[in-house]
C-alpha cells in the first residue's frame, strides 16, 4: 500500500490517542498518510484519489458516512469500533495495532455491501445510502400518507409513521426495530418496511435487487426524507422519492471468516444472553459426540 486515509470521529474517547499511534506506525510503511474528521466531505473528496485503504476510527455512523463520502471510488474501508454496537466495524481499538501489519501486507478479504440510490424528482438530486432511505412524518402525532409503487405497479397507500427502504446492511437497523427481516450482509435484496401502519397492510416485504420503489407524499403537512439517518430534508405534498439499488457498493476490509458474522450478530442482538453454554452443544458434532 502506498496511500492510506484515516477518518476520525474525535468525539469518541481515546480516538485521538489511537490516531497518534496509528499515524506513527503507518508512516514507517506507507508513502502517504492523510486524515480528515468524519463528516468533512470536501476534505475526503480532495484526498481520496489514489488511496488504497481507508481506516475509519469511530462508530457505525462514521462508517455510514465514510461509505457515502468516497463514492464513486472503490476504496476498501477498515472499521475500528470506537462506539457502542459496532455492526459495521469489525475490530476494536486494542486490536488495530496488533492487526495492522497483516492489513498492510494485503491480508484479508473485501466484503461488498449493496447501497441504495434515492432521487427526489422535484429536486433533480440523487443520494446514496448504505443503510436505508426513510420517508416519514414531519409532525409528531400525525401520520404520513405515502402512495407506494414497485416497478410502476401500485402496491399500497400507507397511513403510517414512515416507510423504510433498507439494504441488507440496513436490515439490522431501523427496519429491524419496525419488525423487518434480517438479511445476510452481502445480499443484494431490498427490504420495504412500513413503520406503525394504521388500518393498511403492514407486512414488510423483501424485494429483488432490481426493484424500483416509488413513494409519493399525499398529505398537506408534508414529510421528511432521511438518508442513513444523517441527511434529512423536508418534502412537500406530491413529492416523489424513487429508490433503487445503487450502481456503487461499499467495500469493507475483513480479517475474519465469513461465518463469524452469525456469532457477531447473536452477540450484538443478545440472542444468547442468559444461556448456559455448557448445557447446549454449540455444534451438531458436539451434540453427536463427535469432534469439537
pLDDT over threshold 70, residue 287:
no
Residues forming a β-bridge with 215:
148, 241
- Active-site choice (40, 60, 132, 151): 60
Query: 235, 224 in Cβ contact below 8 A?
Result: yes
Strand 53-58 to 77-81 pairing: parallel
CA distance 192 to 167: 9
- Which 8-state DSSP code applies to residue 90? -
Query: 47, 69 in Cβ contact below 8 A?
Result: no
256: closest CA among 86, 34, 132? 86
What pLDDT is attached to residue 213?
98
Full set of structural domains in the chain with CATH: 3-113+249-286 (3.40.50.10330), 115-247 (2.60.200.30)
Each residue's pLDDT tens digit, 31-88: 999 999 867 788 888 999 999 999 999 889 999 999 999 999 999 999 998 877 678 9
What pLDDT is attached to residue 291?
54
pTM: 0.90
Phi first, then psi, for residue 90 (nearest 5°) are -85, -35
Active-site residue, 132 included:
no
Burial status of residue 224 (CB atoms within 10 A of its CB: 0-12, 13-18, 19 or more): middle
**Between 276 and 140, residue with greater pLDDT:** 140
What pLDDT is attached to residue 289?
56
Enclosing H/E stretch for 16: helix 15-27
pLDDT, averaged across the chain: 90
Each residue's pLDDT tens digit, 212-245: 999 999 877 789 999 999 999 999 999 999 999 9
CA distance 56 to 41: 14
Amino acid at each position: 500500500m502506498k496511500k492510506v486515509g484515516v477518518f476520525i470521529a474525535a468525539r469518541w474517547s481515546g480516538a485521538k490517542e489511537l490516531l497518534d499511534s496509528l499515524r506513527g506506525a503507518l508512516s514507517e510503511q506507507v508513502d502517504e498518510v492523510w486524515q480528515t474528521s468524519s463528516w468533512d466531505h470536501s476534505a475526503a473528496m480532495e484526498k481520496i484519489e489514489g488511496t488504497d485503504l481507508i481506516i475509519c476510527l469511530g462508530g457505525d455512523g462514521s462508517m455510514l458516512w465514510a461509505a457515502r463520502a468516497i463514492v464513486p471510488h472503490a476504496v476498501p474501508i477498515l472499521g475500528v469500533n470506537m462506539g457502542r454496537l459496532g455492526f459495521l466495524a469489525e475490530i476494536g481499538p486494542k486490536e488495530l495495532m496488533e492487526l495492522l501489519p497483516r492489513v498492510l501486507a494485503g491480508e484479508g478479504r473485501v466484503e461488498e455491501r449493496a447501497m441504495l440510490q434515492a432521487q427526489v424528482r422535484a429536486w433533480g438530486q440523487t443520494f446514496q445510502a448504505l443503510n436505508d432511505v426513510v420517508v416519514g412524518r414531519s409532525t409528531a402525532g400525525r401520520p404520513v400518507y405515502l402512495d407506494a409503487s414497485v416497478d410502476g405497479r401500485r402496491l399500497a397507500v400507507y397511513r403510517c409513521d414512515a416507510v423504510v427502504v433498507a439494504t441488507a446492511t440496513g436490515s439490522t437497523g431501523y427496519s429491524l426495530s419496525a419488525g423487518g427481516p434480517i438479511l445476510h450482509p452481502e445480499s443484494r435484496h431490498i427490504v420495504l418496511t412500513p413503520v406503525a401502519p394504521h388500518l393498511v397492510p403492514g407486512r414488510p416485504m423483501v424485494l429483488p435487487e432490481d426493484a424500483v420503489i416509488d413513494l409519493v407524499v399525499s398529505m398537506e403537512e408534508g414529510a421528511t426524507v432521511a438518508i442513513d439517518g444523517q441527511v434529512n430534508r423536508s418534502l412537500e405534498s406530491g413529492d416523489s422519492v424513487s429508490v433503487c439499488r445503487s450502481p456503487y457498493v461499499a467495500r469493507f476490509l475483513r480479517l475474519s471468516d465469513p461465518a463469524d458474522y452469525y456469532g457477531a450478530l447473536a452477540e450484538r442482538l443478545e440472542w444468547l444472553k442468559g444461556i448456559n453454554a455448557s448445557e447446549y452443544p454449540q455444534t451438531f458434532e458436539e451434540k453427536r459426540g463427535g469432534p469439537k
